Structure 1
Amino acid sequence: MRAVQITAYGGPEVVVINDVPRPELAAGQLRVSVAATGVNPVDWKIREGHMEFLQAPFPFTLGNEFAGTVTELATGVTGFSLGDVVYGSVGPIGVFADELAVDANAVAKAPASLSLIESAALPVAIVTAQAAFDAEPIGPGTRLLVHAAAGGVGSIVVQLAKAMGAEVTALTSPATMDFVRGLGADHVIDRTTAYEQAIGDFDVVLDAFGPAAQARSWGLLKSGGILISLVAPPDQDEAARHGVRATMTFGTPNGAALAHAAALADAGKLKPTIQRTYPVEQAVSAMADVEGGNVRGKIVLTY
């Protein structure tokens, strides 16, 4: 079967499509025939060697979210049947392949209202958002500021937070403001302006952008509020100086969060935006699009 792998850390030249053995199925796992996989910034960051925690022998397979069809059940699996359409995130690597062996508790039945391509664009954003919401519960009346609201994660965070009753302020570029309004954000702000002079007193700031966004966020939090970063460790000294809290969270496999999100999607409260699809043979081009930083929603590979 095909797998998109890297032979070393580096640029696009290290990416190859290899013929690899079908994965062995262990107890508690599903075999999934992959139809589509989402492409995320972490994929090219791993390729370039920026994720220091990752210790995997070369070559290894990139990718961490997918949608496909169950073709085999191992012992100990309940709640799934052959032919079920499922989606999941196993993070951080191993998904860009024709077939997967995945833990049943890392997946859920995909939203019936979405295509396989749309479903493949959701899992990373869902489990990432869930980790942030676990760090600080979001509910009716929570005042939430979201950086990078038009991106693959930010666009889902906006929708999930609105479904939970939060008052959502979204920061994005001028070109994507109408797009973010369409996601349901209560307030949409041009991130290229001096927005610090116009907004503030947030319970939660969610950073999906990076250190530059964090530096502009400390004064936007109310006393005791929290900055949650998805991309870079926040400065704890700065947090203390402003009388606020700060943390960094990471999405982990979470079938229960995916099942809840599927219900929201089928209720019309959650929908991904697909900017473009590529056949798996063009994985290098897909990652280049994401690395360019101008993606509205998600890029997806098809198999």
Structure 2
Amino acid sequence: MHAATVSRFGGPEAVEITEVPVPVPGPGQVRIKVAAAALNPVDAAMRSGVFGGEGERIGLGWDVAGTIDAVGPGAGARPGDRVIGMSTGHRTPLGTHAEYVVLDTEAVAPAPASLDDAHAATLPLNTLSADQSLALLALRPGQSLLITGAAGAVGAHAVELAHLRGLVVTALASPADEEFLRSRGADHFLPRGEKPAPGGWDGVLDAAQLGDDASAAVRDGGAHVGLWPGREPAPGRGIRVGALDVRADAERLAALSRLADRGEVLARVAATYPLAEAAAAHARLAEGGLRGRIVLVP
């Protein structure tokens, strides 16, 4: 079968389509025939060597939508089930940008019945990242939350989920995104480029990596969560500072899938590319300006 991999670090040109064996599911695992797989910034980071692995053959892709076609012992799943899932391994030889992928059952959930495969494939990493970031913040209903980069894939889902949790949400993004973000649950809007008021919020989810500027917006004793471990601002003023280390969670992913079916979580596809054109897809991702995810289709 074919898979997108890298054996050297670099720009989009480093992405190769290679021939690899079809994987076999082990105990507690399922094999998914990939119908669609989203391309995320973490894939660009892996391609460029952020996570190391020089000289290794590294598979790309974290998100997947498709159909179970084989199960390992004790998997508790059925061939033919339509699912979404997330691979969280860094530097694994095979990711989801492939024709088949094997995942643990704890990383797989039923796909939203109302969405096509391309849209469903955008959900796992981004919705779980938003959901787990909000859990780290541990804010109570009625408390205030600033979300930077709110129009991005993680940020927009964070707006939706924070609204459902009863938080008072301020979205920071381009002025062109204000109407969209208010429609997804933002109570207030802050244009990108305008510095957040110091100490103005109980918590900040810093999806745009503003760092110290975002941390300064947190009140004394509040909470700050970013999306990249190791890039957290220095703690101070009693602020809890954390960074997301996203993990697979079948139960939460199933709940998020149901929210998508109810229209409370919106899947956005910016463009689709054939798997064979993965390098071109990486090049488009690098250009920026996307609203939604690029999706690869085998």
Q: Same fold (TM over 0.5)?
A: yes
Identify the residue that residue 289 of structure 2 maps to in structure 1.
294
- Residue deviations 1:45-64 (CA, integer Å, cap 9, x gap): 11111124xx4862221111
Q: Which runs of 5+ in 1 are unaligned?
A: none
- Which of 236, 242, 245 in structure 2 is aligned with 1:247? 242
CA shift for structure 1 position 176? 2.4
Secondary structure of 2:211's counterpart equals helix
- Give the stretch that moved more between structures: 126-135 or 277-286: 126-135
Work out the CA distance in 2 between the residues paired with 1:296 and 1:112.
23
Q: Name the TM-score, length of structure 2 as normaliser.
A: 0.92
1:208 and 2:203 aligned = no
Percent sequence identity over aligned pairs? 35
- Residue deviations 1:26-48 (CA, integer Å, cap 9, x gap): 01011100000111111111111
Identify the residue that residue 64 of structure 1 maps to in structure 2.
62
Identify the residue that residue 108 of structure 1 maps to in structure 2.
109
Identify the residue that residue 251 of structure 2 maps to in structure 1.
256
Identify the residue that residue 187 of structure 1 maps to in structure 2.
188
Identify the residue that residue 5 of structure 1 maps to in structure 2.
5
Work out the CA distance in 2 between the residues paired with 1:97 and 1:146.
33
Q: Which runs of 5+ in 2 are unaligned?
A: none
CA shift for structure 1 position 95? 1.2
**Aligned CA-pair RMSD:** 1.7
Q: Contact (CA 8 Å) 1:126, 1:257: kept in 2 or not?
A: no
Identify the residue that residue 34 of structure 1 maps to in structure 2.
34
The verdict on how the C-alpha distance between 1:227 and 1:67 changes in structure 2, with shifts beyond 3 A counting, is same
2:105 partner letter:
A
Identify the residue that residue 273 of structure 1 maps to in structure 2.
268
- Residue deviations 1:99-129 (CA, integer Å, cap 9, x gap): 0111011110011121111110011112212
CA shift for structure 1 position 85? 0.7
Secondary structure of 2:197's counterpart equals helix
The verdict on how the C-alpha distance between 1:45 and 1:253 changes in structure 2, with shifts beyond 3 A counting, is same
Work out the CA distance in 2 between the residues paired with 1:209 and 1:26.
38
2:178 partner letter:
M
- Which of 220, 223, 226 in structure 1 is aligned with 2:220? 223
CA shift for structure 1 position 253? 1.2
Identify the residue that residue 169 of structure 1 maps to in structure 2.
170
Q: Contact (CA 8 Å) 2:108, 2:253: kept in 1 or not?
A: yes
Secondary structure of 2:270's counterpart equals strand
Q: Contact (CA 8 Å) 1:149, 1:180: kept in 2 or not?
A: yes
CA shift for structure 1 position 227? 0.6
Work out the CA distance in 2 between the residues paired with 1:60 and 1:291.
20
CA shift for structure 1 position 139? 4.3
Work out the CA distance in 1 between the residues paired with 2:220 and 2:88.
35
- Which of 89, 95, 111 in structure 1 is aligned with 2:86? 89
Work out the CA distance in 1 between the residues paired with 2:186 and 2:40.
23
Identify the residue that residue 153 of structure 1 maps to in structure 2.
154
Secondary structure of 1:130's counterpart equals helix
Q: Contact (CA 8 Å) 1:196, 1:216: kept in 2 or not?
A: no
Identify the residue that residue 142 of structure 2 maps to in structure 1.
141
Work out the CA distance in 1 between the residues paired with 2:285 and 2:133.
22
1:71 partner letter:
D
Identify the residue that residue 72 of structure 2 maps to in structure 1.
74
CA shift for structure 1 position 291? 2.2
Secondary structure of 1:217's counterpart equals helix
Work out the CA distance in 1 between the residues paired with 2:153 and 2:46.
18
Q: Name the TM-score, length of structure 1 as normaliser.
A: 0.91
